[in-house]
Amino acid sequence: MNLKGKTILITGASSGIGESFAYLLASKGAHTVLVARSKAKLDQIAQEIQDKYQVNAWVYQKDLGIVSSAQELYQEIKGDGVDVDIIINNAGFGKWGKFEEFSLETYTSMIQLNINSLMELCYLFIEDFKEKSESGIINVGSTASFIPVPYSSVYAATKSFVLYFTEGLVGEFADTNIRISCLCPGSTASNFSAVADPNKQADTSTTNSLSSDEVARLGLEAFQAGKHYVVTGRRMQLKIFKFLSRKRVITLIADYWKKLLGLEK
C-alpha cells in the first residue's frame, strides 16, 4: 500500500512505539492523527513532523481509559472533517506485581484502554473503511497475547483479547480492501516499564529490548506485506512453550516473574 497522502490515526503517539510510528509514517509522506493524554508532547511531535516532512499532523488529547472516550474521539475527528484511512491502536499499559497490589480502578481503566477503546475504534472506523479502496488497521498486542502471565495477569489477558479479536477481523474482512494486522512486540525500550513498575521492583537489567523505532518498522513491514500478525524480539521462548503443558508454562512464567520482582521467599 502506498502510504503517501494517507491519513493515519495513531493512539498512544506521545511516546514509545506510537511516537516511532508517527515519525516513520510521516517520513513516508503520510498525514498523522496523534492521540494521547499528554498534549504538550503531542504538539511538539506534530510540529516536528510538519516542519520536517511537510505533512499534516492533527493532535487529539484524549484519555482512552475512560468509558465513551473512543466514541467521542471518533465524533471529534469526523466533526473536524479529517478523513482517516488507517488506524493504529497502539495506546496501552500494563502493571507488574501481585494481582491484589493494584486498585480495581487501575484494572478497569486498563481494560477500557487496552480492550474496549481499541475494539470501539475498529468498529467505528470499519464502516468508513468499507467505502475506501485502501484502508487498514494495526492493533498492538504483545508476546503476552500468546501466554498467561502471572503477576501481569490482567494485562496479558487484555493482550490475548487484542490478538484473538484482530485475527477474527482478519478472517471476516479477508475479501475486502481493509488490511488488518496485529503487532505483537516483545520487550521494547519505551516508557512502558516505568508505568508498569514505577517503583522499579523488577530487575530488567538483563532483558534484551528492541528500540521502539525498530518495532514500529517491523510492524509496518508486516502490515505492508499482508501478514496478519508479527512478533518482534525474542520468539524462541514462545516456540518452546508450544512443547510444554499449559500448567508447566504457567509455573515457569510465575517462577520467572517472582524472581524478577523479588517475591521469592
| Three cell numbers written together for 70 | 473512543
Among the listed residues 3, 6, 8, 15, the single contact to ligand NAP using CB under 6 A: 15
Q: Which stretch binds ligand NAP (CB under 6 A): 15-23, 51-59, 125-133, 255-263?
A: 15-23
Residue 58 β-bridge partners: 33
Among the listed residues 122, 140, 220, 253, the single contact to ligand NAP using CB under 6 A: 140
Residue environment code for 39-67, b if the CB has 16+ CB neighbours within 10 A, otherwise e? eebbeebbeebeeebebebbbbebebbee
Tell whether residue 70 is a contact of ligand NAP (CB under 6 A): no
Q: Give the helix/strand (H/E) hosting 181.
A: strand 178-185
Q: How far is the CB of 260 from ligand NAP (least distance, A)?
A: 14
Neighbours of 5 (CB within 10 A): 11
Tell whether residue 92 is a contact of ligand NAP (CB under 6 A): yes
| Three cell numbers written together for 229 | 500478525
Single out the residue of 220, 210, 221, 161 nearest to residue 186, CA to CA: 210
Tell whether residue 93 is a contact of ligand NAP (CB under 6 A): yes
Contacts to ligand NAP from residues 226-245, by CB under 6 A? none
Neighbours of 207 (CB within 10 A): 14
Q: How far is the CB of 13 from ligand NAP (least distance, A)?
A: 6
Tell whether residue 219 is a contact of ligand NAP (CB under 6 A): no
Tell whether residue 181 is a contact of ligand NAP (CB under 6 A): no
| Three cell numbers written together for 40 | 504538550
Tell whether residue 116 is a contact of ligand NAP (CB under 6 A): no
Tell whether residue 151 is a contact of ligand NAP (CB under 6 A): no
Rank residues 63 and 83 by Cβ distance to ligand NAP and give the closer one. Answer: 63
Among the listed residues 26, 36, 163, 222, the single contact to ligand NAP using CB under 6 A: 36
| Distance from C-alpha of 136 to C-alpha of 216, rounded to nearest angstrom | 15
| Helix-helix angle 16-27:39-53, to 10 degrees | 20
Q: Which stretch binds ligand NAP (CB under 6 A): 48-56, 91-99, 236-244, 246-254?
A: 91-99
| Distance from C-alpha of 50 to C-alpha of 57, rounded to nearest angstrom | 6
Neighbours of 106 (CB within 10 A): 14
Q: How far is the CB of 69 from ligand NAP (least distance, A)?
A: 7
Among the listed residues 23, 28, 37, 153, the single contact to ligand NAP using CB under 6 A: 37
Residues that bind ligand NAP (CB under 6 A): 11-18, 36-38, 62-65, 90-94, 113, 140, 142, 185, 187-188, 190-192, 195, 212
